[in-house]
Chains A and B, each alone.
Chain A
């Protein structure tokens, strides 16, 4: 297997209950989002990656290290799990120092702890007990633990959960900066708007199976049975709608307050025609794919399949 993150025909059963089934993935660098309904297997996949649970079948490799070798694995991986609990009686700075010592590190501990806390905006509460942290602070603390040893791979289970808008924006900026260095960031989220905004690729899970993977636009292009929807804003909306409806691939053209919504089976032909109409003088103010996003893909592949 090459370096990177690979799942090789991985299945996980909890007794008779299916966790994930026949998952084969090759996750590239950048930001990869795991998307799926509750019980789809997102946390299972992440826990498998982190070695907290072992696959019933198949193999997982992260940067050439097996998931059953925590001593080597967690030198390259930082994981922020869903578990919202910390060791009893500990303070923020104390926990991070303990984590570094557990890693066998003996030097430069205090500056690294301070840097990690500053990165997540918790430097001012380094001496506070973790039990007194709010939900958002606990979320940031988990992120600090994951980032502490500067990992190559970051796995985050619902990292934006419980964060206020400012903290969310800061975290998203952090994720982008991390991925921009050629590293791997895998996160799960229910907020599809965030997935759209930050992800380079997505993995869509449903009932323990991978339903789609890849860049969002690429996934969309592989759904020919789902006609493309395009929203166009124009001052001559009626004329545009009438003209578009004459194209053979166009199935629907509807008018609403936001403009014209065109549904077409042949996006390529439609965009060619659109260029011609614009060149011919038809005023077009905006062209926007209406279902070329995570929400639409989720709806088509998960909700539509139910």
Chain B
């Protein structure tokens, strides 16, 4: 490696050192840590709730069985419940509830007359789940079950939270905060000239800043994902955990989630870095990308491919079509194109990131510093 390139490597490292400190240890970036910690806290809470429900379940089963003269309830007993059944019928089928609470709220009849609705929540349990039966004015309104967290439930919960919160929101906004600040933030702070007045190529500045941003985002979100997996894994009994890791390609899946996290940081990072250079207000393209990727499931196949989330979703070990809470009418509109091979998805993401960085490099080379315009 000749002297020029060795010098440029040192310069890249110097920029990296400056930026990584600013990104990882500044008070302005604290919210990114909180963002990454949210799912961890969520899974810890889920574990605590699951433990609490398990002990509730054990005591409820005992009291129900005693009340039913030694005859425990089964899931089939609850499947037979219908909306509109009376309280008496429920008691007759299931016996007295292990626990209950009452509530009321104001409402209106279809004719508009004001009434007060009285509600009851009956709680039952079977070994697989806790059941909550909601009765309004003495009639069954809803039957909900909270399944004991088995292996598949935990995988689904993690997949849901990862696909619809981590990828689409947490990593998106985290990368927005980190990468937008690399250039646009320096222009707002009026400190970019510090780099531009040094004997360093602007492309080298871009490379150093991008690598620092990627390292910071990668460190924060990879740690978050890893800790989430550990917290969820701790809720599994050891035999299930061992089976997941050894028989069901567990390590493979964990590596896949970590790799997707890093690729997402790289792709979104390149986008926001470029957006910060090309636009005075990078929030606008970010908002457009957010909405575009939000409606991605509903787009035709060709338009789906013009997004980052399409390639990331193609790499997911467990992929869900619709976010939780999507109305059924909207779910019908979701189109599921042919699955993209992982290799093409990775290449596609890397190409997108590379193209964006090349455009950003061209832009930064011609960037004129005029702080008065900011």
Residues on A facing B (Cβ under 8 Å): 14, 47, 50-54, 70-75, 79, 81, 83, 85-89, 95, 98-99, 101-104, 106, 145, 149
Contact = CB atoms under 8 A, between A and B. Distances in A.
Given A72-B199, A75-B199, A103-B199, A88 B26 contact: yes
Given A53-B369, A102-B11, A104-B8, A70 B196 contact: yes
B199 A71 contact: yes
A81 B200 contact: no
18 contacts: A70-B196, A70-B199, A70-B201, A70-B202, A71-B200, A73-B199, A74-B197, A74-B198, A74-B200, A81-B197, A87-B18, A87-B191, A88-B26, A89-B26, A102-B11, A102-B15, A103-B199, A104-B11
Contact of B198 (A14, A54, A83, A99): A99
B10 interface: yes
Interface residues of B, number: 29
Given A54-B368, A89-B22, A104-B10, A70 B193 contact: no
A99 B197 CA distance: 9
B201 A102 contact: no
Given A70-B200, A83-B193, A85-B191, A52 B369 contact: yes
A79 B197 contact: yes
Contact of A86 (B18, B22, B194, B196): B194
Contact of B200 (A50, A95, A104): A104
4 closest A-B pairs by CB: A101-B14, A74-B199, A104-B7, A85-B190
A51 B366 CA distance: 10
Interface in B189-241: 189-191, 193-202
B93 interface: no
A145 B195 CA distance: 12
Most chain-B CB neighbours within 10 Å: which of A75, A98, A104?
A104
Contacts of B17: 101
Nearest to A81: B193
Contacts of B18: 87, 98, 102
A47 B372 CA distance: 14
Contacts of A50: 197
Interface of B: 7-8, 10-11, 14-15, 17-18, 22, 26, 186, 189-191, 193-202, 366, 368-371
A89 B189 CA distance: 12
B197 A71 contact: no
Given A88-B22, A89-B22, A98-B18, A52 B196 contact: yes
Most chain-B CB neighbours within 10 Å: which of A14, A47, A102?
A102
A157 to B, nearest CB: 11
Contacts of A95: 194
Nearest to B11: A104
Given A53-B369, A88-B189, A103 B11 contact: yes
A92 to B, nearest CB: 13
Contacts of A87: 18, 22, 186, 189, 191, 194
A70 B26 CA distance: 29
A68 B11 CA distance: 19
B366 A54 contact: yes
B25 to A, nearest CB: 9
B200 A103 contact: yes
Contacts of B366: 54
A103 B194 contact: no
Contacts of A54: 366, 368
Nearest to B370: A53
A88 B369 CA distance: 18
Given A85-B190, A87-B18, A145-B197, 6 more contacts: A47-B369, A50-B197, A88-B22, A95-B194, A102-B200, A104-B8
